[in-house]
Amino acid sequence: MTRYSRFPRLFGKVPVLVPVLVLPLTLLAGPCAIPPARAADASTSLPGQANAAGDIEIRDAWIQIIRPERQIAGGYFTIENRGVDVHLLTGVTATACRDLFAHHTEQESTSETATLFTHMALPAQTTLVFPPGGYHLVCRGYDATVQPGRSIPVVFHFLGGTTRTVAFDVRPAQDTADTAP
């Protein structure tokens, strides 16, 4: 008698792992989203989340018109978490933009890159820079308020419900006429 004699056998000598596999598969197949009532509890039960607005500094914020004929602009900024707690960026919005999402200049745009700023952890005592040529915001379908020399408000949303509104200075599209061959 083998030590697996209580379990049915699959292919003769290998025990069927039904009891071991059923529970994990059931958990994986269950709903993935946190119900709204639990989501609210999570934001208040995580230490320091109410401090996000005070801990986070966003500076060097500007947006440049990239393709005026298609109403596309790129947003660049530096974000710093000066606090002792990790904060989670849960979204970035701007009323001046029909769509506002993340993009990397050297990567193909995918749903994963587009949702970068909806679930990005900001470690304590960390500075992250979003420059031209790297990860940045894309404002698509902007309205008439996106004019060089003006600024537009961009709202950063954090877990726990706090927000930071930052003025992004609008810069004109680069003049490429001088660099054309």
Residue 4 lies in a domain: no
Residue 93 lies in a domain: yes
Contact, 102 vs 137, CB < 8 A? Answer: yes
Backbone phi and psi for residue 148, each to the nearest 5 degrees, phi listed first: -50, 140
Residue 147 lies in a domain: yes
**pLDDT, tens digit (0-9, with 9 covering 90-100), for 129-161:** 999 988 899 999 999 999 999 999 999 999 988
Residue 29 lies in a domain: no
pLDDT band at 106 (very low <50, low <70, confident <90, very high): low
Query: Rounded to two decimals, what is the model's pTM?
Result: 0.69
Positive or negative: CA dihedral 142, 144, 150, 153: negative
Residue 91 lies in a domain: yes
Q: How far is CA 24 from the centre of its chain?
A: 28
Residue 140 lies in a domain: yes
Would you give the end-to-end CA distance of the chain in angstroms?
83
- Which structure tokens are listed for 178? 């001088």
The CATH number given to whatever domain includes residue 166 is 2.60.40.1890
Angle formed at CA 93 by CA 118 and CA 50, multiple of 5 degrees: 65
- Number of domains composing the chain: 1
Residue 84 lies in a domain: yes
Q: Which domain holds residue 108?
A: 49-171
Residue 83 lies in a domain: yes
Check residue 160 and give its pLDDT: 87
**pLDDT, tens digit (0-9, with 9 covering 90-100), for 40-72:** 444 455 777 888 888 999 999 999 999 999 999
> Average pLDDT in the 20-33 region?
33
- Which structure tokens are listed for 156? 């950063």
